[in-house]
């Protein structure tokens, strides 16, 4: 199973590399007269040097937009408000969801994920098959790829559209509202330099330019995928892990114990690329319902991941209900809210939930008046068949869990080696 899932990683990185080249090869700086070769906001042919120069310019522009609060309806929220660079581009708060909207009083529906290590995520597909040189190419591994918890955006530029227009995030009325702010921005001249003098003629073109810049910034290696953790240095032979961390690594990879590496790949890919700690797939975990999310006050409301409500194209696909994207575990020790609904607030609890979800459900799920446990209370029973039963899941209530308490501590210790160097205490402020 681990070998088969690892192929996802190799293919995804190759696809991401091609995407990056395509992104650059479709771009060029405006010429000396300030007008794009080819005219308009989409450039024509270019040299490699011009392409890389434009990519650098887009990165700089995207960085400025990322921290610009004026690009929200409230004027109080930037991308960085929820994706803090000092918290691995994830939220700094312990809240399960973030507030947004025109008056900053509308709560979100899901926990905010980190934007780090998304560069290799492939486009979403419902059916992923292994290649003919590894695994069984006849086996359908199911939904794979895409950004966000439900994979509904394939690229950074697609993802950037969502918060800019979401009514409970930056809450702009439409593309025109964003364009109006960009025209007044101190970097408006840079937008013209990169996209041409006509970039502000059409609001949709202006909006497209903005999300392209944001998406390009999020491909910046130094910011978003530095691979600078102690585990990376360990893999390179430049650092050592403690005895506890080594035990945790072994348990993480043991298919009969933690079995974490079956989805959170921990070994370098076949081409030597560092591990991404995700296979880009989707799983149903059965995380307890979070009463701290306002939408959950409605007993009829359920966040079903791939089959809605935020993703609409797979609505009604019962086999997808309750499935959410497997996130990378890089920098996971920095998180203060875990899983799509932010129910857990401690890494150890998240790991312990995996180990004892089925053997001790009363530890995690609420109880009815008669003392019975409302297991899987955030997923209608019609979809319980979608829940993962691979180890450490799948055991009977009252049975022996796959992991002991000391073993859970060992895995947590290993996960703490995945924090990037610039996120460590005392690291220089960027």
* DSSP result, 65-84: HHT-GGGSSSSS--HHHHSB
Q: In whole angstroms, give the CA distance from residue 264 to residue 266.
A: 6
Q: Are 305 and 149 in contact (CB under 8 A)?
A: yes
Please count the CA atoms within 13 angstroms of the CA of 65 that sit on its side-chain side.
Answer: 34
Q: Does residue 172 sit in the same domain as residue 248?
A: no
Tens digit of pLDDT for each residue in 40-50? 455 678 888 98
The CATH number of whichever domain residue 191 belongs to comes to 1.10.760.10
Q: Does residue 199 sit in the same domain as residue 273?
A: no
Residue 87 lies in a domain: yes
Q: Does residue 259 sit in the same domain as residue 312?
A: yes
Tens digit of pLDDT for each residue in 20-64? 433 443 333 444 333 343 334 556 788 889 889 999 999 999 999
Per-residue pLDDT band at 71 (split at 50, 70, 90): very high
Tens digit of pLDDT for each residue in 344-359? 999 999 999 999 999 9
Q: Does residue 219 sit in the same domain as residue 333?
A: no
Per-residue pLDDT band at 418 (split at 50, 70, 90): very high
pLDDT of the residue at 159: 96
Residue 60 lies in a domain: yes
Tens digit of pLDDT for each residue in 239-263? 999 999 999 999 999 999 999 999 9
Q: Does residue 216 sit in the same domain as residue 301?
A: no
Residue 2 lies in a domain: no
Q: In whole angstroms, give the CA distance from residue 29 to residue 163.
A: 28
Please count the CA atoms within 13 angstroms of the CA of 249 that sit on its side-chain side.
Answer: 15
Residue 293 lies in a domain: yes
Helix (H) or strand (E) holding 286: none
Q: Does residue 177 sit in the same domain as residue 301?
A: no
Residue 291 lies in a domain: yes
Q: Does residue 411 sit in the same domain as residue 330?
A: yes
Residue 27 lies in a domain: no
Q: Does residue 219 sit in the same domain as residue 236?
A: no
Q: Does residue 128 sit in the same domain as residue 192?
A: yes
Q: Considering 224, 250, 284, which residue would you say is the last residue of a domain?
A: 224
pLDDT of the residue at 145: 96
Which residue range is the domain that position 108 belongs to?
Answer: 48-224
User: Furthest-apart CA pair in the chain: how many Å?
Assistant: 77
Q: Considering 168, 195, 224, which residue would you say is the last residue of a domain?
A: 224
Q: Does residue 209 sit in the same domain as residue 244?
A: no
Q: Does residue 54 sit in the same domain as residue 159?
A: yes
Cα–chain-centroid distance for residue 72? 22
Residue 196 lies in a domain: yes
Q: Considering 224, 253, 279, which residue would you say is the last residue of a domain?
A: 224
Residue 96 lies in a domain: yes
Number of domains, the chain: 2
- By three-state DSSP, how is residue 344 classified? strand
Tens digit of pLDDT for each residue in 122-150? 999 998 776 544 455 667 778 999 999 99
Q: Does residue 140 sit in the same domain as residue 285?
A: no
């Amino acid at each position: 199973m681990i070998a088969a899932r690892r192929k996802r990683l190799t293919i995804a990185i190759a696809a991401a590399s091609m995407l990056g080249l395509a992104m650059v090869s479709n771009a060029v700086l405006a010429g000396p007269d300030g007008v794009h070769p080819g005219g308009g906001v989409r450039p024509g042919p270019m040299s490699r040097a011009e392409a890389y120069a434009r990519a650098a310019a887009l990165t700089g522009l995207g960085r400025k937009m990322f921290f610009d609060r004026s690009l929200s309806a409230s004027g109080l929220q930037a991308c960085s408000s929820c994706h803090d660079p000092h918290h691995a581009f994830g939220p700094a708060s312990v809240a399960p969801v973030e507030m947004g909207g025109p008056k900053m009083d509308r709560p979100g529906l899901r926990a905010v994920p980190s934007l780090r290590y998304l560069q290799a995520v492939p486009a979403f597909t419902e059916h992923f098959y292994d290649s003919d040189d590894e695994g069984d190419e006849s086996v359908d591994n199911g939904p794979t790829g895409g950004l966000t918890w439900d994979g509904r955006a394939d690229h950074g530029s697609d993802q950037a559209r969502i918060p800019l227009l979401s009514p409970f995030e930056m809450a702009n009325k439409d593309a025109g509202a964003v364009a109006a702010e960009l025209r007044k921005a101190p970097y408006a001249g840079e937008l013209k330099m990169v996209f041409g003098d006509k970039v502000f003629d059409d609001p949709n073109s202006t909006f497209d330019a903005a999300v392209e810049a944001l998406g390009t910034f999020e491909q910046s290696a130094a910011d978003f995928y530095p691979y600078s953790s102690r585990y990376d240095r360990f893999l390179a032979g430049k650092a050592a892990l403690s005895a506890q961390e080594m035990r945790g690594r072994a348990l993480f990879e043991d298919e009969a114990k933690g079995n974490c590496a079956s989805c959170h790949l921990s070994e370098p890919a076949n081409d030597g690329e560092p591990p991404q700690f995700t296979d880009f797939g989707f799983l149903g975990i059965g995380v307890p319902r979070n009463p701290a999310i306002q939408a959950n006050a409605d007993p009829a409301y359920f966040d079903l991941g791939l089959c809605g409500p935020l993703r609409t194209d797979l609505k009604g696909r019962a086999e997808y209900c309750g499935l959410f994207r497997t996130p990378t575990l890089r920098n996971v020790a920095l998180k203060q809210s875990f899983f799509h609904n932010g129910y857990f607030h401690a890494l150890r609890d998240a790991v312990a939930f995996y180990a004892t979800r089925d053997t001790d459900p009363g530890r995690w799920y609420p109880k009815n008046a008669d003392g019975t446990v409302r297991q899987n209370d955030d997923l209608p029973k019609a979809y319980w068949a979608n829940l993962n039963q691979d180890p450490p899941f799948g055991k009977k209530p009252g049975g022996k869990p796959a992991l002991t308490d000391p073993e859970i501590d060992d895995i947590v210790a290993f996960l703490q080696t995945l924090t990037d160097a610039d996120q460590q205490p005392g690291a220089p402020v960027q």
